[in-house]
Amino acid sequence: MPLMQFKKPIKSYSQKMTNQTNITLIGYGKMGQIIHKLIQLKFPQISDTYIIDKNDEINQATTAKSDLFIDFSHPSAFVSNLEKLFTVKPSAKIVVGTTGWYQDLEKVQNLIAQNPESALIYSGNFSIGVNLFWKVIAKAAEEFNNYSDLYDVFGHELHHNQKADSPSGTAKQTAEILLKNSPTKTQIKYDLAAEKINPTDLHFSSTRGGHIIGVHSAYFDSEADTIEITHTARNREGFALGGIKAALWIKNKTGFFTIDDFINSYKND
C-alpha cells in the first residue's frame, strides 16, 4: 500500500492566537473526516490541519508543519508508516486509532524507545464514554463475582450491517474485561451457542443489522432480576473527540501510552 503526501492546510485560525498546535491526519477515511470536522468546530487551539492520505507519502515535506499526528490508516500500512515518520520526524507525537496491528506491539514499543523525544498513545476505541463503560463493568463484574452462585454474566453487541468484523474490537475488549474480573469464567465463547453453554463459559454474542453505530452490553442475571449495563453510541463523534483530546494530552509528553493513561489523568478543559 503506498505511503502517504502533503496537502495544503485545510483551515487556519487567526495567527494572533497563542500556543497554537498543528495536527496532521494520517488516513482520511470516515474517522479522519469526522476528526477534521470536529477540529474545525470545537478546537480553536489547533491552528492548521494537514492530511496524509492513502496515495500520499510520508517524507520531510509532508511532516514539516506538524509534530502531532493522528493515525486512522490501515493496519497493513501502520507500522511501515510509523517507521517512515520517525525517520523524518523523530520527535513526533502520535495518536493511533488504527487497529489490527497489535501483533507488532513490541516492535512499535521499541520504535518509541529508539526515539526518546517521541510519544505514542494507542487504543482500539478512543471514546471517553466507552472507556468509562469499561471501568464500570470491571467493577460490576468484580462485585457480582461474590454472588456467582446467584448471578451469571454474559454480553451482547450490535452494529450496522456493513461492519466488516464480528465481534467488534470493542466487544472483544468488553468480553476480556468481564472475563478478567469474573474468576468463575474460564473462556469466552463468541460464536453461536450451538450447544449448551458450560457454566465456566462467558458467552458474548453479536448482531449485525440496520444502521446501528454501536451498542455494547454486559448482563448480570439471576432468577430474580437482571442488571444490564449498556453503552450506546449515537454517532462517531465520541471516538473522534477522544482521539483529538488524547493528541493534545500527549503534545508535551514522551514515551509509550495506552488509553488508560489518558483516562486516568483526564482533566476537564
Which residues participate in catalysis according to the annotation?
A: 159, 163
Rounded Cα gap, residues 35 and 201, in angstroms: 39
At which residue does the C-alpha cell 514515551 appear? 255
In DSSP notation, the chain reads ---------S----TT-SS-EEEEEE--SHHHHHHHHHHHHH-TTEEEEEEE-TTS--SHHHHTT-SEEEE---HHHHHHHHHHHHHH-TT-EEEE---S-GGGHHHHHHHHHHSTT-EEEE-S---HHHHHHHHHHHHHHHHHGGGTTT-EEEEEEEE-TT-S-SS-HHHHHHHHHHHHT-TT--EEE-S---SPPPTTEEEEEEEE-TT---EEEEEEE-SS-EEEEEEE-SSSHHHHHHHHHHHHHHTT--EEEEHHHHHHT----
Q: Return the amino acid letter for 260.
A: D
